[in-house]
Structure 1
Amino acid sequence: MHQLNRISLSGLRAIETTARLGSLSAAAEELGVTPGAVSQRISRTEAQLGQPVFHRSGTGLLLTDLGRDVTAALSRGMAELAAAVALADPAGDDLLNVSVAPLFASRWLIWRLPRFNALYPDIRVRIEPVSRMVTPGPGGIDLCIRVGKGDWPDVRLERLLDQRVLPVCAPTLAAKIDTPADLLRQPVIRENDRLAGWREWLSPHGLAPDAIPGGPVLADGGLCLDAAISGQGVFMAWETLASDALSFGQLVAPLPGRIATGDSYWFVTAKTGRRKPAIVRFRDWLRGELAETSGHWPE
């Protein structure tokens, strides 16, 4: 332990944060300092260690072999420190930091949160909309809601719902679609030039995805849904994200059939440590909301 006396703890934190987030700017935002200050702390601590932790290049910072070992140990140590601090802060039991993909947050979760707040007025929920996976832990993110195969390491995973997709469009466009082949006569909306789900949906009907016509190409799934609502084409949408627009009549599913993608929604929490009662309450409420939403979906 006496070796720590010669090493800057703020510098060690700067190294761990930069390695974990992948950039000086992201580390600076988390630490509440400038990127220049983070860089200086790293350089000073590398000098104290006597060896470089990062390679400097034109594309950014890359961990050295020593850096990979050091930052792995630092991440474990920082998690233990955060857990120790959290034990002394029982007030934190009433705050939930929830990491969720921005599209799921804006299209589904945010509209249902008032019901959770009404049930549990003493629990404060803070939504952090980020696309990348965040590892939950004491003093940081309490839980994540993510879509995928469930193959993230070092976390506790609970399956919430299998993900399915279906073609949706505006009511005016749906009037032109009576058969699966009619889909191939309409503009098809693409997210980032991808046709996710189309092959799986078309194949049972004997249709090939190479026959899919062109259409708007947008960089965000939310924009794709908006384009479909405005009548610009057909979009292969996730059930959850399209559910409210379908309920309100903004979108129509012109044909029956919903195809599983092989992915699922997951409730992700820390693998070890004490679990806040609020986490369990939020999980149970979330399961109920998803069950209610999916209960209105035709097979």
Structure 2
Amino acid sequence: MKNLQRVHLNGLRALETVGRLGSLRAAAEELGVSIGAVSQQVIKSESQLGAAIFERTGRGIRPTPLGRQFLDRLTTGFQTLDTAIAMTRHDSDAVLTISVAPVFASKWLVPRLARYARAHPDTKLRLDASIGLVNPDSSDIDLAIRVGEGNWPEVKAEHLLAQEVFPVCAPALAETLASPADIMAAPIIRDANSNIEWNIWLKQFGLDQAHLAEGDTFTDAALCLDAAIAGQGVMLAWHTLAHDALAAGRLVAPFRERATTRYSYWLITSATRPEPTKVRAFKAWLRSEIEATVRG
């Protein structure tokens, strides 16, 4: 590895970041330094390498033909380093890092974590509230919970729960719904970001969502649920979102029929590393809680 001695690591990092992001400004923001500092690192590194990695044009900076090949390999190298460092963070059984969608965390998972803490007092949880795809091999995430079809690449995906949807509303509004057809005249609470259509549930009764009444629209499922609890209308909910409000009597499911979507909850873990004890323990606990939710 004597070639690595020709260039300082910070210089290589500057070259890789500029090449990956396409500008000095973006690289400076990611690295937390000034644009001038990044520029100087690039110039110094090119001098140490004895080759031009970038060419300067009136439209900014772009890789030379040699630079493109060099930067591709440099990015691969830094990704390998990042993975190696992430692996050391996974070795500790003291902290379990879980990536989970905010609405699943707030409406279902967090209220149950006290039971997990009592059963596993030596493990501390760190929740990363996000919906983006994560790869445990290149991050500090031990386990992710995602909704989808289970076809994510380069990860291990284990089925947790099929997603079923059904209407819910406040008890007073439920008293006006004698049959599914009555929903067509009720105010409908809509989630603007949802990819689940009302027809998934309505079609079994020969009804069409095109004839649903107007109602309030929100960009977050948790807000939709709060609006339903407040009596603002009927929403299309699912197990983990509405379970606790239903159990407390703040919401009612006026009809017993449910409809299965093409989506499910999945447990996402590394496809390459042995599974730590802390991950196995949390998965077992989570499955038991999910089973209790379905039974309830």
TM-score bucket of the superposed structures, by smaller chain: 0.7 to 0.9
Going from structure 1 to structure 2, the CA distance change for 1:193 and 1:157 (only over 3 Å counts) comes to closer
Going from structure 1 to structure 2, the CA distance change for 1:174 and 1:156 (only over 3 Å counts) comes to same
Q: Using the TM superposition, give the Cα deviation of residue 164 of structure 1 relative to its aligned residue in structure 2, in angstroms.
A: 1.0
Segments of structure 2 that go 5 or more residues without pairing to the other structure are none
User: Residue 275 of structure 1 aligns to a residue in which SS?
Assistant: coil
Going from structure 1 to structure 2, the CA distance change for 1:17 and 1:265 (only over 3 Å counts) comes to farther
CA distance in 2, matches of 1:230, 1:25: 47
TM-score under structure 1 length normalisation: 0.81
State the match for 2:80 in structure 1.
Answer: 76
The correspondence of residues 1-299 of structure 1 with structure 2, limited to 5 A, is 1-10=1-10, 15=16, 24=26, 28=30, 34=32, 36-37=33-34, 40-41=37-38, 44-45=41-42, 48=46, 50-52=52-54, 70-83=74-87, 85-86=88-89, 92-137=92-137, 140-192=140-192, 196-296=196-296
User: Residue 281 of structure 2 aligns to a residue in which SS?
Assistant: helix
CA distance in 1, matches of 2:146, 2:175: 35
Going from structure 1 to structure 2, the CA distance change for 1:224 and 1:148 (only over 3 Å counts) comes to same
Contact 1:18 1:24 in 2 (8 A): no
Q: Which amino acid aligns with 2:221?
A: G
Contact 2:191 2:219 in 1 (8 A): yes
CA distance in 2, matches of 1:271, 1:169: 41
- The superposition leaves residues 125-179 of structure 1 with CA deviations (integer Å, 9 ceiling, x where unpaired) of 1111112122113761111111111111111111111111111000011011011
TM-score under structure 2 length normalisation: 0.82
User: Residue 93 of structure 1 aligns to a residue in which SS?
Assistant: coil
What do you get for the CA RMSD once the two structures are aligned?
3.4
CA distance in 2, matches of 1:56, 1:164: 56
- The superposition leaves residues 71-116 of structure 1 with CA deviations (integer Å, 9 ceiling, x where unpaired) of 3453234213433x448xx5x1221011111111100000111111
Q: Matched residues, percent identical?
A: 38
Larger radius of gyration: 2
Going from structure 1 to structure 2, the CA distance change for 1:154 and 1:110 (only over 3 Å counts) comes to same
> What count of residue pairs does the alignment treat as equivalent?
281
Contact 2:27 2:38 in 1 (8 A): no
Contact 2:159 2:265 in 1 (8 A): yes
Going from structure 1 to structure 2, the CA distance change for 1:128 and 1:19 (only over 3 Å counts) comes to farther
Q: Using the TM superposition, give the Cα deviation of residue 7 of structure 1 relative to its aligned residue in structure 2, in angstroms.
A: 3.9
CA distance in 2, matches of 1:205, 1:42: 65
Q: Using the TM superposition, give the Cα deviation of residue 196 of structure 1 relative to its aligned residue in structure 2, in angstroms.
A: 2.1
CA distance in 1, matches of 2:271, 2:195: 35
Segments of structure 1 that go 5 or more residues without pairing to the other structure are none
